[in-house]
Amino acid sequence: MDKISGTKCPSCRKNSNSEFAPFCSAGCKDRDLLRWLGEGYRIAGERVDPMAMDQFSDDE
């Protein structure tokens, strides 16, 4: 487990580990993924109606 010098884990601010980069551990990596999946993180922009997304389907 090599530490990445000067890089901090975005979750807990400990030194990053090259095995889990940019995180320090599997736990921080998993917690970050869960935040994305649980909509804890959001990308700014206009709301999109899920029903309107059908127009972008490649099934046609």
- Would you list the domain boundaries of the chain? 1-40
Q: What tens digit of pLDDT does each residue of 9-41 get?
A: 999 999 999 999 999 999 999 999 999 998 888
Q: How far is 7 from 54, CA to CA, in rounded Å?
A: 41
Q: Annotated binding residue at 28?
A: yes
Q: Annotated binding residue at 9?
A: yes
Confidence of residue 57 (pLDDT cuts 50, 70, 90): low
pLDDT of residue 50: 78
pLDDT of residue 51: 81
Q: How far is 45 from 35, CA to CA, in rounded Å?
A: 18
Q: What tens digit of pLDDT does each residue of 37-47 get?
A: 988 888 888 88
- Residues 6 or more apart in contact with residue 1 via CB below 8 angstroms: 17, 18, 19
Confidence of residue 48 (pLDDT cuts 50, 70, 90): confident
pLDDT of residue 55: 67
